[in-house]
Amino acid sequence: MSGAPRGMILLSAVVIARDEERFIGDCLDSLRWADETLVVLDARSADRTAEIARGHGAALAVVAFENFSQMRNQALAEARGRWVLFVDADERVPVELAAEVQEVLADESRHSLVGYWVPRRNFIWGRWIRHGGWFPDYQLRLLRRDCARYDVRRAVHEVAQLTGPAGYLRNMLTHINFETVEEFRRRQEAYATFEARTLFASGVRARPHHLILQPLREFRRRYVQFGGWRDGSHGFRLCFYLACYTFVTYLRLWRMQRAASAPTTRSEA
């Protein structure tokens, strides 16, 4: 890693990780071209992620986890580059995307832009999913560090808030998303809780009909509107599961608001 002072490095590649020893090495191998590689590690991580990251020459920042937005803001504070490229541990940067990132950052005609949306190719259960909203799956990942901030009220599926315009890249991130159905279910369980909390904090309230209509809308959106049916049985199962976890999200939101409105009792002195 370069010993250049803060501000002189053009690009920091940042990976946010927790217990990612299975993926982190290959991820960091795909980032060797960056000026700096920084791994922001969840303090609860209990495997060899930190050891592997150091072995690949990455800088390491250990952070107490609150939510994903907070982790990304911490990464922006820790990184030394003028630009930051966020990559998840289960993602890879192909050489074509690396070359395009270097090209756009060197192009003075693009200097009015402060961020770039990067298309992503998702592999789920061993197959590239091309429909149902999974492709091109643009992610706002290349950011000018001093022009980006994440809203900490958005606990999951966070998107950077920019103080200027953003562009689009052509070449794709590779995302080794869910390798098994059980992994998918575990992740969606966690996302449902985060999403319910985010909805509750933003003032959204569930009604009984939402428990039926919102899952149906999600299934129709992904399976019909976004063409999930084109991915065959994979597409149907994905759309069905996501509809199920939409139900879980609104059920948890319903329970949160009932708990918040329940009268408190005071014990007699």
Q: Are 103 and 171 in contact (CB under 8 A)?
A: no
Given this model, what pLDDT does residue 155 score?
Answer: 63
* Greatest pairwise CA separation for the chain in angstroms: 73
State the burial class of residue 135 (Cβ atoms within 10 Å of its Cβ: 0-12, 13-18, 19+).
middle
- C-alpha distances in Å from residue 149, one per residue of 73, 144, 203: 6, 10, 22
Q: Are 142 and 239 in contact (CB under 8 A)?
A: no
Residue 74 φ then ψ, to 5° = -65, -40
User: For the chain, first and last CA: distance in Å?
Assistant: 64
Contacts (Cβ under 8 Å, ≥6 apart) of 143: 76, 83, 84, 85, 86, 114, 115, 116, 160, 162
Given this model, what pLDDT does residue 58 score?
Answer: 96
Angle, vertex CA 14, rays to CA 89 and CA 173, nearest 5: 55
User: Nearest Cα to 97, choosing from 34, 162, 178?
Assistant: 34
Q: What residues of the chain score a pLDDT lower than 50?
A: 1-3, 267-269
Q: Are 211 and 254 in contact (CB under 8 A)?
A: yes
Given this model, what pLDDT does residue 1 score?
Answer: 42
Given this model, what pLDDT does residue 115 score?
Answer: 97
Domain with CATH 3.90.550.10 in the chain: 9-177
Q: Are 149 and 161 in contact (CB under 8 A)?
A: yes
Fold of 9-177: Spore Coat Polysaccharide Biosynthesis Protein SpsA; Chain A (3.90.550)
User: Nearest Cα to 159, choosing from 250, 73, 41, 31?
Assistant: 73
Say how far apart CA 208 and CA 228 lie, in whole Å: 27
